[in-house]
Amino acid sequence: MNKQMEDPTKPTVKLTGVSGNAFAVMGVVSRALRKAGFPEDHIDKYMQESMAGDYNNLLVVAHKYANIH
């Protein structure tokens, strides 16, 4: 994503080099949310939305909650 288009209210997550395993992706994003100071209910909502569909849904939800690189 172009840096000019990033949402400054979301943490930035680098997925390059992360295992393509769905749980690894969810772990990286949830840790970034936690580190950025988001409340646990926000992180729980991210996790629920991530698990509510297939792998493509997981990636769409990750983009919703974080700036993905």
pLDDT at 1: 47
Say if 22 falls within a structural domain.
yes
Which tokens go with 26? Answer: 């969810």
How many Cβ atoms from other residues are within 10 Å of residue 34's Cβ?
A: 14
pLDDT at 36: 96
Residue 44, CB-side half-sphere exposure with 13 Å CA sphere: 3
pLDDT at 16: 83
Give the count of domains, the chain: 1
Say if 28 falls within a structural domain.
yes
Spans in the chain with pLDDT lower than 50: 1-2
- Decide the pairing of beta strands 12-13 and 67-68: parallel
What is the residue range of 34's domain? 15-68
The amino acid at 10: K
Say if 62 falls within a structural domain.
yes
Say if 8 falls within a structural domain.
no
> What is the rounded CA–CA span in Å between residue 10 and residue 63?
10
Say if 10 falls within a structural domain.
no
pLDDT at 4: 57
